[in-house]
Amino acid sequence: METHEADRIIREALDKVAPECPSPRIIYTRAYSYCGRACITPHGFQIKLSNAWKGATPEGKRQTLIHEAMHVADAFLHKGQWSGHGFMWQVLMRKVGARPDRCSNDPGALATANQALWHREVWVHCPCRSLRVSKRMRSSIAQNPGSKLCARCRKPLTANPEELAA
């Protein structure tokens, strides 16, 4: 989906509930942990669209855009006071004919994106074995040693073999 099409879907949703609301700026991120995220910045509203979003179905993409647009409308109509997935956001979602799911992030898209990540895997180690994990996982292990445990021996996974416990 092209940015102008995403912009159009967001604008159409906003026009139904908050025509005065300025269009948020679309920012692309490399995240895999969410599909979309609405933000308020000193320069105005932003909607972040992730790598997971890029892997979503057209309908999943559209749902995410509407979900995030309603966070923007919520913040605009309620003077920057975010209610998260609370009552006012749910009212807005219903007004645009969308289900007020807490998470309209496309689970299929997240799974596909995580799979793609898995295929760009790297080695990590524990006392009982070496195994393949995503680069993301490895860097999280490198940054927070001891944060992930081996499912088999319950000892911490380490990013480098030389960090192995004796």
Closer by beta carbon to Zn ion, 94 or else 152: 152
Q: Does 149 bind Zn ion (CB under 5 A)?
A: no
Q: Is 152 in the site for Zn ion (CB under 5 A)?
A: yes
Q: Which of 128, 132, 145, 161 binds Zn ion (CB under 5 A)?
A: 128
Whole-number minimum distance, CB 153 to Zn ion, in Å? 3
Query: Contact region for Zn ion (CB under 5 A) — 51-59, 106-114, 134-142, 152-160?
Result: 152-160
The residue whose two tokens read 């393949």 is: 132
Using the rule CB under 5 A, which residue among 27, 122, 149, 153 binds Zn ion?
A: 153
Tell me which of 88, 126, 133, 159 binds Zn ion, using CB under 5 A: 126
Q: Helix 58-77 crosses helix 87-95 at what angle (to 10 degrees)?
A: 120
Q: Which residue has the tokens 């001891």?
A: 146
Q: Rounded CA gap, 136 and 151, in Å? A: 18
Question: Residues 27-66: x/- map of binding to Zn ion (CB under 5 A)?
Answer: ----------------------------------------
Contacts of 87 (CB under 8 A, 6+ apart): none
Does the footprint of Zn ion cover residue 99 (CB under 5 A)? no
Q: Which of the ranges 1-9, 107-115, 139-147, 151-159 carries the binding residues for Zn ion, by CB under 5 A?
A: 151-159
Give the interface with Zn ion as residue ranges (CB under 5 A).
Answer: 126, 128, 150, 152-153
